[in-house]
Amino acid sequence: MDTLTHALIGANIAGLAGHSISMTDPVFLGPVLASMAPDLDIVMQVKGDLAYIKSHRGISHSLPSLLILSGIITVFLHSILPTSVPVTTLFAVTAAGALSHSLFDMLNSYGVKLLWPLYRSKVTCSILSLVDWFIIAFSLITVAAGAYHPNAYWCWTAVITGYLLYRKWTAKRMGLFLARSFRGDGVQKVVVMPARFQIFLWDFLLETRGQFVIGTIHSFSLGTKILRQLKKTKDNLFIKAALESKLGKLFREFTPHFYVMHKKKGCSHLVQFTDLRYYNRNDFMHTGTVFLDEQFCAIEQVFQPYNRNHRVIVG
């Protein structure tokens, strides 16, 4: 989710604790700051896109890190802003704000490593867009209204909970519809994901016996549009070698939904990885290529984040 959404959610959590907007109230500032703090992993961008993508929504979004960040924010606020509120209460409300960050990030298709180090894969629910204008607008209204009507925060809790349940039901409904629509093709997997910036449009990924189908579906009309169809490549030793390369391991950790293609080019072989989650401007956002010789040894490994013209050598 975007920073504004996280901050507004943190403000509503403070309101639920009985503290509306106040720049001198640590119980208000605590959850607001903590709700944005996990995204400090953006500092890894100084090391390049590869380092950032490896770390984004990783350890900083895990439960141990959330508790540490909450502790730091609590100590800082308690030391500079005098308050009669017990430090344990301040910590609890601040921790609730930090936890909200990871929980809401978990609700879109990128996911978070919430259970690290016990479970190292990202956990995702895939029901919210990266920017959800309904949550932003309604959260902003309740933060403003909460200063005059404290019950507004409880209204926010009920409405947002209902909205999330509706989104979950909608995803399930569309998944069943797609499975029925393509059952003649031998559907093996159906994945429905929210579009990146549109509330009522969803992306879908279908795996059939012979291909992957990528498209969009509208949540109300159930109208579908097929964007790409990718024929499956038969497994071979070059693909197996590429999967065990550094780039292959990166892709397996980076995304649960990827496509692999093998092609012979001159005296070498190339195996291309494609992240099937994000399709934008007639192409996939994240791709990568492993070049191998006839002995299945990797000659070069290239990661292409965000677009195919952006090349990052994986060494």
HEC assignment per residue over 60-80: HHCHHHHHHHHHHHHHHHHHH
Q: Is the pLDDT of residue 191 over 80?
A: yes
Residue 190 vs residues 81, 91, 121, 135, 303: alpha-carbon distances, Å: 51, 41, 20, 27, 27
- Across the chain, mean pLDDT equals 94
Per residue in 255-276, pLDDT (tens digit) is 999 999 999 988 889 999 999 9
Q: What's phi and psi for 69, nearest 5 deg? A: -60, -40
Residue 59 DSSP label: G
Q: Is the pLDDT of residue 28 over 80?
A: yes
pLDDT of residue 213: 97
* Residue 129: band (very low, low, confident or very high) from pLDDT cuts 50, 70, 90: very high
Within 8 A by CB and 6+ apart from 21, the residues are 11, 28, 143, 146, 147
Per residue in 140-158, pLDDT (tens digit) is 999 999 989 999 999 999 9
**If you average pLDDT over residues 198-202, what whole number do you get?**
92
pLDDT of residue 309: 87
CA within 13 Å, CB half, 78: 16
Q: Which pTM value belongs to this model?
A: 0.92
Query: Which single residue is written with the structure tokens 């298709």?
Result: 109
pLDDT of residue 196: 81
Percent of the residues in the chain that have a pLDDT greater than 90, as a whole number: 84
Q: Is the pLDDT of residue 315 over 80?
A: no
Long-range contact list for 258-263, CB < 8 A, 24+ apart?
259/212, 259/230, 260/233, 261/230, 261/233, 262/233, 262/236, 262/238
Domain ranges of the chain: 3-125, 172-230, 233-313
Tell me the C-alpha distance between 255 and 262, whole Å: 19
pLDDT of residue 214: 97
Per residue in 224-256, pLDDT (tens digit) is 999 999 999 999 999 999 999 999 999 998 899
**If you average pLDDT over residues 85-112, what whole number do you get?**
97
**If you average pLDDT over residues 117-144, what whole number do you get?**
95
Euclidean distance between the first and the last CA atom of the chain, given in angstroms as a whole number: 31
pLDDT of residue 258: 95
Q: Is the pLDDT of residue 60 over 90?
A: yes
**If you average pLDDT over residues 50-79, what whole number do you get?**
95
Percent of the residues in the chain that have a pLDDT greater than 70, as a whole number: 100
